[in-house]
Amino acid sequence: MAYLDPKIYMTLDELRSYKGSYTEATIVHNGTSGLAVRDDSVVADNTGTQWLDGSGRGWARQFKGPIEAAWFGFGMDSSTNHTILSDILTFMSTNSSLPSGYGSGELILPKGNFEIEDTIDPTGNTIGLVIRGQGKYVTNLIFTPTSGTMFQIDTFLFPSFRDTSILNGTITGSTITYHTTSTAIAFKTNSTGGGLNLSARDLLIRNFGRVIDTSADTVNDDTFLFDNCTFQYNDYVWYNANVQALSWQFINCDFKFNKTDIFHNPGGGLQVRGGTSINDCNFIYIDAVNYALAQVVVDGTKFETYETIDALANPYWLYSTGTAPAYNVKFVNCSSKTGSNTLSGKYSVRVAGNYNVIFDNCALDGDVDAQPNASTNGSVGIISYINCKQTHNIVNTTSAGQGNAPTRIQYINSVPYGFTKRITTNFDRNTGNSSALSIPAVPRYENLYLTATVNNSTVNKSFPVFCPEKYTIVIKSAWIQFTDSGNVDGTVTLWEDSGKTNQICQYVKPASTSGTKYDDLVVNYTKLTNTSNSLYMEVTSTGNAGVATVRLVIEIMPL
């Protein structure tokens, strides 16, 4: 359609008071410039694409393609930015005839920093609607409250976000001050009548308490997709406390410096493809029975910690707890990277309840910790390693007689920690209430770790170590350190069992040293009978309080 060159130029204020005979006009008004024509189908003024003049006649903006948020005055006043966006999205969702190939249309956000002071909560079904900025760090939506929700997604269905930074903080001039402690939510769902579909590509989201919150959602058929997104300094990326049957995909996303959990109770299906997790927090956290449908696949993700490996943080790939959550988690082509070779109390995975965890072609840089649940049989589950290189210890901490070891550890063409060759076999729990595993008679090394606060006192820990018949355990080296930089002396004693009947060896760290290392030890008094399945370590200190870190390397070898 062609339009004549209009003979009149007006601001929006002038158009709204106009009573003349022109049927076309060029609007010139603070970023809302464009061509407007008389349109009798227009019955309401939406400030951006439709207006009423002084005689009540309708005018419509002539455009092809996306809608510009600036047409509606977005960015002019921070106190109205949230209502303007809500109104635009509601308008787009109720006008299916918009000239766009994107279903409900495409909304373009301008360049710049824009404060959002309250919730954006449109109504209407926004199927296929795309909200697009000018790029990460170019279009910045800054949610200023420390609590509340930025985007409420309930009847606001199927939105798609692109090329935008979504931040939680305040701005002064061109400087953004982020909220370091916040309960604010970026996207919150509350669906009661139908599934939701949220997709995002090339987003940066940082400093929120929760990025996506589905805790109030009661519908189990939601679908979410995040592609090439970056999540930084958030408490949770996904916080779920209710729904089960979900489909979540995170493709080539980077998770950096987040604080608590990346995925908190990921009910239903979660797929993470590629990307990097640089965190000192839980990547996947599961803690309740009602996530029995959890099916998780993590493929090609690189796990890193931004602290040194001797720090207190634990960058878990998977952390589960609770009474009896049932879940299946598979890690494929994943690896971990840490700042040191000293794996002092670090874990890659902590499992409890009813589980099936598979590592396929993975390299773990920390131990696997199998914790008990409320059952007298302890945790019930299988851990499988397929084509894995040098997997690490299974660490078991006995508690009230509950068995902590997995029901079975399966190795398929993999090298268990301390073993010297690839094996294909099963390590089964000795009994239904046992913390020990039936391990084949193969020479191997194991590391025993103890990290605890000691203050003129004694701390201890039992280590379930299975020694096959006609094998012996030999102490090869020891390392003792206190975080007080040398003001505390410490004594480490290793016994055959918690009854302290037979002392195996003892090492002393003088107060004058920050750490003491004993290398190339061969302690001959270390033979255990084939009925002994544990070693017992005690650490005693005098002087100032300190955090003791002890590592003993043992070799299990034929007599």
In sequence order, what DSSP letters do the residues of 334-382 get, joined into one string? Answer: -EEE-S-S--SS-EEEEE-SEEEEEEES-B-SSEEEE---SSTT--EEE
Classify domain 125-441 by CATH number: 2.160.20
Query: Per 3-state DSSP, what percentage of the chain is helix, strand, and coil (rounded to 5)?
Result: 5, 45, 50
Calpha distance 428→450 (Å, rounded): 25
Q: How confident is the model at residue 432 (pLDDT cuts 50, 70, 90)?
A: low
Q: In this predicted structure, what is the pLDDT of residue 307?
A: 61
Alpha-carbon Rg for the chain in angstroms: 31
Strand order in the sheet with 24-27: 9-10, 24-27, 34-38, 58-62, 50-52
pLDDT in tens, 274-302: 999 888 888 998 876 555 556 899 999 98
Per DSSP, 17 falls in state H
Amino acid at 528: L
Q: In this predicted structure, what is the pLDDT of residue 100?
A: 45
Q: In this predicted structure, what is the pLDDT of residue 232?
A: 96
Check pLDDT > 60 for residue 313.
Answer: no
pLDDT in tens, 52-65: 999 999 999 998 88
Per DSSP, 301 falls in state P
User: Hey, what CATH topology would domain 445-558 get?
Assistant: Jelly Rolls (2.60.120)
CB 548 within 8 A of CB 454: yes
User: How many degrees, rounded to 5, is the angle at CA 387 between CA 385 and CA 390?
Assistant: 75
pTM of the model: 0.78
Q: In this predicted structure, what is the pLDDT of residue 41?
A: 92
Calpha distance 11→46 (Å, rounded): 15
Check pLDDT > 60 for residue 486.
Answer: no
Check pLDDT > 90 for residue 446.
Answer: no
Q: Tell me the two tokens of residue 66.
A: 């996306």
The β-bridge partners of 247 are: 223, 269
458-464 and 534-543 beta bridge pairing: antiparallel
Calpha distance 464→533 (Å, rounded): 5
Q: In this predicted structure, what is the pLDDT of residue 401?
A: 38
Q: In this predicted structure, what is the pLDDT of residue 522?
A: 57
**Mean pLDDT confidence for 158-170:** 92
Q: How confident is the model at residue 396 (pLDDT cuts 50, 70, 90)?
A: low
Q: Which of 254-258, 336-340, 399-403 is most confident?
A: 254-258
Check pLDDT > 70 for residue 482.
Answer: yes
CB 140 within 8 A of CB 113: yes
More confident residue, 340 or 330: 330
Average pLDDT, the chain: 79
Q: Compute CA distances 268 → 39, 245, 280, 293, whole Å.
A: 49, 4, 25, 5
Calpha distance 207→212 (Å, rounded): 13
Check pLDDT > 80 for residue 484.
Answer: no
**Mean pLDDT confidence for 190-205:** 76
Check pLDDT > 90 for residue 519.
Answer: no
User: How many degrees, rounded to 5, is the angle at CA 361 between CA 360 and CA 366?
Assistant: 90
Q: In this predicted structure, what is the pLDDT of residue 38?
A: 95
254-256 and 50-52 beta bridge pairing: unpaired
Helix (H, G, I), strand (E, B) or coil at 335: strand
Domain locations in the chain as residue ranges: 9-62, 125-441, 445-558
Q: What DSSP element (H or E) covers 279?
A: none
Q: In this predicted structure, what is the pLDDT of residue 80?
A: 94
Q: Which of 137-146, 200-209, 527-536 has the lowest mean pLDDT?
A: 527-536
Query: Fold match between 125-441 and 445-558?
Result: no
Check pLDDT > 80 for residue 24.
Answer: yes
Q: In this predicted structure, what is the pLDDT of residue 524?
A: 52
pLDDT in tens, 76-92: 999 999 999 999 988 88
Q: How confident is the model at residue 510 (pLDDT cuts 50, 70, 90)?
A: confident
Check pLDDT > 60 for residue 368.
Answer: yes
Q: In this predicted structure, what is the pLDDT of residue 526?
A: 47
Q: Compute CA distances 254 → 66, 275, 524, whole Å.
A: 29, 5, 50
More confident residue, 43 or 498: 43
Calpha distance 260→209 (Å, rounded): 10
Q: Which of 126-130, 221-225, 336-340, 446-450 has the lowest mean pLDDT?
A: 336-340
94-116 residues labelled b (16+ CB within 10 A) or e (exposed): eeeebebebbbbbbbbeeebbbb
Q: In this predicted structure, what is the pLDDT of residue 113?
A: 96
To the nearest 10°, report the CA torsion of 123, 129, 134, 139. 20
**Mean pLDDT confidence for 506-525:** 69
Q: How confident is the model at residue 68 (pLDDT cuts 50, 70, 90)?
A: very high
CB 150 within 8 A of CB 140: no
Q: In this predicted structure, what is the pLDDT of residue 331?
A: 94
Q: What DSSP element (H or E) covers 13?
A: helix 12-17
Q: In this predicted structure, what is the pLDDT of residue 173?
A: 87
Q: In this predicted structure, what is the pLDDT of residue 45?
A: 92
Q: In this predicted structure, what is the pLDDT of residue 271?
A: 92
Q: In this predicted structure, what is the pLDDT of residue 402?
A: 42
Q: Which of 150-154, 318-322, 332-336 has the lowest mean pLDDT?
A: 318-322
